[in-house]
Amino acid sequence: MCILSLLGLFGCKGYGDLKVDEFEKMLAEDPTVLLIDVRTAEEYAEGHLPGAINIDWYDKDFMQKAAALLSKDRAAMVYCRSGRRSAEAAAKLYGAGIKTYNMLGGYLAWTEAGKPTSTN
């Protein structure tokens, strides 16, 4: 059994998985986090979480772009369409020493819950 899993939020994978309401609450409570939409630019343009920046997970420069914006004392909160890409991105960011949270269910779960979105 992974020691980190005993602490609750973080499992053996290292990053934290949050349900939509938990993700929204953390965003509201911590203005220092960096909210990253890891979908493609086209997906992002169709709608995204307010305040999110777009860094496409499939971009070969994903880590360089993220590293330019993040530091080890600033958490990253990531999401994608359904949660698969963002889980991969969260694992990679965590591996680089960034405290990272992934939104379970992604943008689909966010919109299904009636949460606010933006196209700006």
77 bridge partner residues: 35, 101
76 lies in a domain? yes
pLDDT tens sequence across 93-116: 999 999 999 999 999 999 999 999
Higher pLDDT, 41 or 70: 41
Residue 35 lies in a domain: yes
Please give the pLDDT value at position 4: 43
- Count how many domains the chain has: 1
Residue 83: DSSP 8-state: S
pLDDT digits (tens, 9 = 90+) for 14-46: 899 999 999 999 999 999 999 999 999 999 999
Q: Is residue 119 part of a domain?
A: no
- Domain assignment present for 88: yes
Whether the predicted pLDDT of 3 surpasses 90: no
- The enclosing H or E element of 28 equals helix 20-29
Instruction: Output the domain CATH number for residue 29.
Output: 3.40.250.10
The C-alpha atoms of residue 80 and residue 110 are separated, in whole angstroms, by 10
Q: Which ranges of 5-59 would DSSP assign to H, the alpha helix?
A: 20-29, 41-46
Residue 7 lies in a domain: no
